[in-house]
């Protein structure tokens, strides 16, 4: 299989409950529903890219438990090349997710097998990286592995995308020169830049800082307010389609996967951002992580309200 998008990252089983609101510290709430859904930022972005028109390969690790089988099978069903998805002893990654009635969520991640994805794993999968046009990374696997993937992507001349999630502070300075597109949300842009992102103007300041740090181009996703694109020369604010949100889980992953798929298929940056925005907007109208991700047909048939 010739993969034009390769995703290096996490696979988690999402343990999802819905409640009227998010619990406060020390509080026990009665939940409304519970489900187990394949997720993980890496796997979500791989599924999004595949459903939205790309040939996709995944590089990651699953555990020796039942979740590991289910996570790998969920990718295979999507036609994703899993030759570089390794099975290791122990538990698979899990994410504990609470979604409230306003569709906001709180998430706790346990890395499990995702912590076993090492630079050596990527070296063994180098042929997969070489087959890519676009390489996507996130921060749910070891930092050394992410750093290796970014550097190797640059060496191979690939388009390198980093979705810095979850981010709790600045990225290693040497990473920036390998990143073509840095795609944080508001909180991640705040953590990376030190600028509190709570408006379009503050997003511009944060993007400027990240460009100065060495990132090629920056796209800050702003939820219902759209996205800010910065290339060091100018800014462009792209408004988001208006939809009624049900569950925002995986919206960011859908944007990243859709953006990457569009780039890999020859779309311009602006076209790819708008394509990713429509895909993300459709995803929030549905519950769950991977189940919420739309198809290429869905996006092509989208009519703004």
Residues labelled as active-site residues: 253
How far, in Å, CA of 182 to CA of 3, rounded? Answer: 21
Distances (CA, A) of 181 to 11, 154, 259: 22, 12, 10
SS3 106: strand
Contact (Cβ atoms closer than 8 angstroms) between residue 75 and residue 43: yes
Q: What is the DSSP letter of 91?
A: P
CA atoms within 13 A on the CB side of 1: 19
Cis peptide before 166 (omega within 30 of 0): yes
* Residue-by-residue DSSP string for 184-239: -BHHHHHHHHSS---SHHHHHHHHHHHHHHT-SEEEEE-GGG-EEEE-SS-EEEEP
């Amino acid at each position: 299989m010739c993969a034009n998008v390769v995703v290096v990252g996490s696979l988690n089983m999402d343990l999802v409950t819905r409640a009227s609101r998010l619990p406060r510290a020390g509080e026990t709430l009665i939940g409304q529903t519970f489900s187990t859904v394949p997720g993980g930022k890496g796997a979500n972005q791989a599924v999004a890219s595949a459903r939205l028109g790309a040939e996709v390969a995944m590089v990651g690790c699953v555990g020796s438990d039942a979740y590991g089988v289910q996570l790998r099978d969920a990718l295979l069903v999507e036609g994703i090349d899993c030759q570089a998805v390794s099975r290791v002893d122990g538990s698979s990654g899990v994410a504990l997710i609470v979604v409230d009635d306003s569709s906001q969520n709180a998430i706790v991640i346990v890395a499990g097998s995702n912590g076993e994805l090492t630079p050596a794993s990527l070296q063994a999968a180098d042929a997969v990286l070489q087959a890519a046009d676009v390489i996507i990374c996130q921060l749910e696997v070891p930092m050394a592995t992410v750093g290796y993937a970014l550097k190797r992507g640059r060496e191979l001349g690939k388009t390198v995308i980093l979705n810095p999630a979850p981010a709790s502070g600045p990225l290693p300075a040497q990473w920036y020169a390998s990143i073509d597109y840095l795609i944080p949300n508001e909180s991640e842009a705040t953590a990376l830049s030190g600028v509190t992102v709570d408006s379009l103007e503050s997003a511009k300041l944060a993007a400027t800082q990240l460009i100065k740090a060495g990132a090629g181009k920056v796209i800050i996703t702003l939820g219902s307010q759209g996205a800010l694109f910065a290339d060091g020369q100018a800014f462009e604010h792209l408004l988001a389609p208006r939809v009624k949100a049900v569950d925002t889980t995986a919206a960011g992953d859908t944007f990243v996967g859709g953006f990457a798929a569009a780039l890999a298929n020859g779309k311009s940056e602006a076209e790819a951002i708008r394509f990713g925005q429509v895909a993300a907007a459709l995803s929030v109208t549905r519950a769950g992580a991977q189940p919420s991700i739309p198809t290429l047909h869905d996006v092509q048939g989208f009519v703004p309200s």
